[in-house]
Amino acid sequence: MSPGQRANYLHWLTTGKTGPLHDIGYAFVYFYGLERRVLIDEKDVNTIIPEVVRLLRQYPESGSFHGYLSRFIAFVAARTGLNHMTPEGFALCFEQAPLRGYPEELLAVILCWFYMRDLPLSARWAFEVARQDIRTSRSVVVDRAPEQFQALFVQKYQEKYGEGMKLKVAARERSVEYHPASPSLLEMRYATTGFAPVRVPNVLGIQSQFKPIVQIWAECIEELRSYSRVLGKGADITTREAYEALPPALRKDVDHPDAPQWQSMASAHAREDGLSLIPISILAQIQGIEEREKLTPTQSQTLACTAEDIGFAIVPDIRNTGRPYAWSDKVFLFHPEGHPAVRKESGYHAAACMLELGMTIAGADGKVEQDELEHIEKFLEAQFQLSPDEVRRLEAYGLLLSQSPPTVASQSKQLREALTTEQRELIGKYLVGVAAANGIIDRKEISTLKAVYKALEIESGVLDALLTELRHSSSQPVEVQTGKRDTRPGEVIPARERTPVEITINDEALIRIMAETAEVSRILGQALCDAESDTVADDPIAPQPQTPSMVTGLPVTTLPFTEEQLSALDARYHAPLAELLARSEWSADEMATLAKRHLVMPSGMLDAINTWADETLGDILIEDGDVYTINLSLVEA
């Protein structure tokens, strides 16, 4: 030390070692003496440990200082004999000392004390074990409501274990080591027994015994999700309006206020096949929507989201079709095995599109025959990778379409814009195969096929060639020229009875054509991913959703995160995220408008993005205050 430093150090010593320090090195020098007195001289342990605890309280700012002193306490406790440490001594060393977390070497000594004293593990220390366990999930819930989270954990732990769980140890002991803070002691650590490792029972050696408390931790996260959002806001979650303001991640922990009415209607309209066919008008009235010929997109979206929140799959779903419900429409409801929403990455959207096209042809003769419907569904199930729930959705949609077949106009514009001529011809070939599924293509189906080919802007000659390929060799009688009564004797061959034009199918040709259309699934799936679906009717309540490029000029693919990071965030929040990153502050009204523009709930969007950011980037992205502040430093990092 320089003369000035020595003067400062002596002043600090003589004034009780409590004054502020501009350099933590003075406290380290003092600690070097305490370290030597205990480990080399083996003196004054009962006096020095309380002094070390006092230093930890007095100077908590330095992480290095805190680390050395906490490890010193743990090592001295193990060295002097944990079985002799009283509860008061344990409390002084590990509960009264302001320790920053509990690294594994420190926690190992604490758990060893409980084992050696034959004491059950208290809830307070079970909480620390669960916090440090690598199997424990991280969540913003723990940070937002730490006191409530710990209280719930303690309650659940005590319900399961009473006073606490009994600990077990591995057959092999654990070594507790210590590296001196003093440079001079560090040099001599191999020349003295004062720093020799201490062998203690290895409680952490049996990790399986802590699996139940890791599960309790996870349960607490789930049960406190709703609380973490409404904390301090006084929201009453017993009303529909308040419930719909909650983020989707919280709704699963709270019963929807309308759930009993939806469930009652589903039961009243249940069918033998497990589906419930319910008029939209009934569901709209439950939702408080006044009668109108066609619901707005926002109203339709609300119905679909409510069904999902309650646990129903709804068919059709406006979030897949893009078409609002009419007051006279009916929908199917059923309880899916998995999540009620359709997976964004699934092939269901493309399969539903192909189902609509196929039903357009199958219903051309006024009815959809069962073999036609089965043919379409089997083809789609074989070509698209659908989950069991999505297969059930498709079957339910097929039942609805069989009662009211769609028109080609609902799909033709999108397909013309998204597909090349060759690709549209492949779609047309698939539709010819649908028409031929029952072995005959009648006149009405031919007429509809011609209309479809025209709508898809496919040359009529392409259809004629396919029909010729499918036609059996004619077995009809050959009609010859009729004779003239005034020049030739005999009778005129009677005219053949005129019947509707039909084509009897050549089975081999049909098999070949349908095999060639196997590529339909890939083509249509890609097209529907690359192109936006037809814009739904203008909503007088809410503006139409916009793509990220419309909002910010920034494609989602250029978001400043890796593909792996973005994969952890629901795709419907990618576009809002791109817009949020455009500036650092948003007012509450601006945030609500942004959410409505992207057809998501504001609170759901904020919670989903913040949960993703905390788990992926290490901190929340959107801070809620008088204004919403975007933590752009996470992006820059």
Q: What is the pLDDT of residue 70?
A: 87
Q: How many domains does the chain have?
A: 4
**Assigned domain for 116 exists:** yes
387 has pLDDT over 80: yes
The verdict on 85 and 188 lying in the same domain is yes
The verdict on 467 and 406 lying in the same domain is yes
Domain of 620, CATH number, reads: 1.10.10
- Bigger pLDDT: 140 vs 279: 279
The verdict on 77 and 193 lying in the same domain is yes
**Assigned domain for 379 exists:** yes
What does the pLDDT look like over 251-261, one tens digit per residue?
A: 566 688 899 99
Among 557, 550, 559, residue whose Cα is nearest residue 577: 559
The verdict on 146 and 182 lying in the same domain is yes
Give exposure, 110-134, as e/b (b: 16+ Cβ within 10 Å).
bbbbbbbeeeebbbebbbbbbbbbe
The verdict on 83 and 137 lying in the same domain is yes
Banded pLDDT at 158 (limits 50, 70, 90) = very high
Neighbouring-strand partners of residue 255: none
The verdict on 514 and 558 lying in the same domain is no
Q: What is the mean pLDDT of the chain?
A: 78
The verdict on 384 and 321 lying in the same domain is no
The verdict on 166 and 279 lying in the same domain is no
In this structure, are residues 68 and 27 in contact, taking their beta carbons and an 8 Å threshold? no
In this structure, are residues 353 and 304 in contact, taking their beta carbons and an 8 Å threshold? no
The verdict on 215 and 77 lying in the same domain is yes
Q: Which of 75-79, 166-170, 610-614 has the highest mean pLDDT?
A: 166-170
Q: What is the pLDDT of residue 548?
A: 36
Among 537, 610, 525, residue whose Cα is nearest residue 144: 610
What does the pLDDT look like over 497-547, one tens digit per residue?
A: 444 455 665 556 656 665 655 556 566 656 555 543 433 434 443 333 333
**Assigned domain for 94 exists:** yes
Angle separating helix axes 421-435 and 409-418, nearest 10 degrees = 150
Percentage with pLDDT > 70 across the chain: 76
Least confident of 105-119, 335-349, 620-634: 335-349
What does the pLDDT look like over 576-608, one tens digit per residue?
A: 998 899 888 988 878 888 887 887 777 778 878
What does the pLDDT look like over 306-359, one tens digit per residue?
A: 999 888 999 999 888 878 999 999 999 999 988 777 776 667 877 888 788 778
Its domain, for residue 503, covers 348-472+499-530
**Assigned domain for 91 exists:** yes
Regarding beta strands 628-630 and 585-586, do their DSSP bridges make them parallel or antiparallel, or are they unpaired? antiparallel
The verdict on 514 and 412 lying in the same domain is yes
The verdict on 352 and 330 lying in the same domain is no
26 has pLDDT over 80: yes
**Assigned domain for 509 exists:** yes
Final residue of a structural domain among 301, 334, 367: 334
